[in-house]
């Protein structure tokens, strides 16, 4: 299932907003704020910092860049662990 980000920690299935859907929300957000974000995203008018309109392609690119960075960090840790265990095996 593809998800679209709505605010800090909030995830909503892309497409139609589902009434009564549970959204992870570590910081208190009003229900109206979340509804406004869902409505703006549905209309393609979700704004970023400074009122800049954020396109869905830009949101996806940002998500992919963050995922790429996370995976690079994980790979670095795995390489170090493999070198450590290879050294012990000799």
pLDDT tens for each residue of 20-65:
556 555 566 678 877 887 888 787 777 766 677 778 888 899 999 9
What is the structure's pLDDT at 23? 57
Residue 1 has pLDDT above 50, yes or no: no
What is the structure's pLDDT at 14? 53
User: Which residues on adjacent β-strands are paired with residue 3?
Assistant: 13
For residues 36 and 69, membership in a common domain is answered with no
| Tally of domains within the chain | 2
For residue 88, the enclosing domain spans 55-90
The continuous run of DSSP H or E covering 82 comes out as helix 56-89
Listed in sequence order, the residues at least 6 apart from 25 whose beta carbon sits closer than 8 Å to its beta carbon are 9, 10, 34
For residues 61 and 43, membership in a common domain is answered with no
Q: Look up the pTM and report it.
A: 0.43
CA distances (Å), 5 to each of 31, 42, 74, 83, in order? 16, 12, 23, 37
For residues 59 and 82, membership in a common domain is answered with yes
């Amino acid at each position: 299932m593809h998800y679209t980000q709505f605010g800090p920690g909030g995830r909503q299935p892309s497409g139609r907003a589902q009434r009564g859907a549970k959204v992870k929300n570590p910081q208190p957000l009003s229900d109206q704020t979340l509804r406004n974000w869902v409505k703006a995203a549905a209309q393609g008018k979700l704004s970023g910092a400074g009122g800049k309109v954020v396109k869905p392609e830009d949101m996806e690119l940002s998500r992919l860049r963050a995922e790429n960075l996370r995976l690079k960090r994980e790979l670095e840790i795995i390489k170090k662990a493999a070198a450590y265990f290879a050294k012990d095996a000799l």
